Amino acid sequence: MTAQPQKYYSAGEYLELEREAEYKSEYYKGEIFAMAGAGHNHNRIVENLSGECYIAFKGKSCRTYSSDQRIHIPENSLYTYPDLIIVCDKNQYLDDKKDTILNPSVIIEVLSESTEAYDRGQKFHFYRSIPSLSEYVLINSRSLAAEVFRKNEEGFWVLASEAYQLHDTLELATVGLTLSMADIYAQTEDLLL
């Protein structure tokens, strides 16, 4: 039996397929990867964060987009859907379809067992190529744990804020936002303590 050659797609082919697809996929260097669904805690945390950000940014220039908003990183070819992005400048789009943003200021990923290694490792490496990105936030969906990585003045990424208790807060200095862990984890279930 002969192995079938893997099909590689151009970015244009990916976008054409993705814009008609019933489910979301990531694209990287010619390959398309289906994205997994999310569980209760993951979805609850994203909704909680979205609500807190909406209230904090109401009437201001920053705004959030949830996991249905695709971003693209031209420097490494990645197209992906972060759990939540914050954009504080005028949106920069890939093209006139206005469905792919290029300039997030903050990216938030909610970690699950299947995505944690990728979100902490290779995906964070890819995200660091985004010139507008100032903070990268990781929120664990299985236990009380949250971290904010911030790009310093020298361009290096450092752990700038972390929280591990319900009474703790998480500081997103780039956008002037302090989030309560109790608010982030409201109505989640079965967390490892």
pTM for the full predicted model: 0.94
- Based on the structure, what is the number of domains in the chain? 1
Per-residue pLDDT tens digits for 49-58: 999 999 999 9
- Over residues 76-80, the mean pLDDT reads 96
Q: Is residue 165 part of a domain?
A: yes
pLDDT at 7 over 90: no
More confident call, 164 vs 38: 164
8 A C-beta contact, residue 141 and residue 170 = no
Q: Would you say residue 149 lies in a domain?
A: yes
The answer on pLDDT for 6 being more than 80 is: no
Residue 104 inside a domain? The answer is yes
Please check whether residue 37 is in contact with residue 26, taking contact to mean a CB–CB distance below 8 angstroms: no
Domain-embedded: residue 101: yes
Q: What is the pLDDT of residue 1?
A: 43
Beta strand 146-151 with 169-172 is unpaired
Q: Determine the Cα–Cα distance for residues 149 and 138; give it in Å rounded to an integer.
A: 8
pLDDT over 70 for what percent of the chain? Answer: 96
Assign 38 a pLDDT band (cuts: 50, 70, 90). confident
Tell me the backbone φ, ψ of residue 161, rounded to 5 degrees. -155, 145
- Give mean pLDDT, residues 113-138: 96
pLDDT digits (tens, 9 = 90+) for 141-163: 999 999 999 999 999 999 999 99
26 occurs within a structural domain: no
Q: Collapse the DSSP code of 42 into the 3-class scheme (helix H, G, I; strand E, B; otherwise coil) and give the result.
A: helix
In a domain? residue 98: yes
Q: Does 20 reside within a domain?
A: no
CATH number for the domain spanning 80: value is: 3.90.1570.10
Q: Above 90 in pLDDT, residue 137?
A: yes
pLDDT score, position 15: 96
Query: Residue 50's domain spans which residues?
Result: 39-184
What pLDDT does 37 receive? Answer: 78
Contact 54, 46 (CB under 8 A): no
Asked if residue 84 belongs to a domain, the reply is: yes
Q: Does residue 87 carry a pLDDT above 50?
A: yes
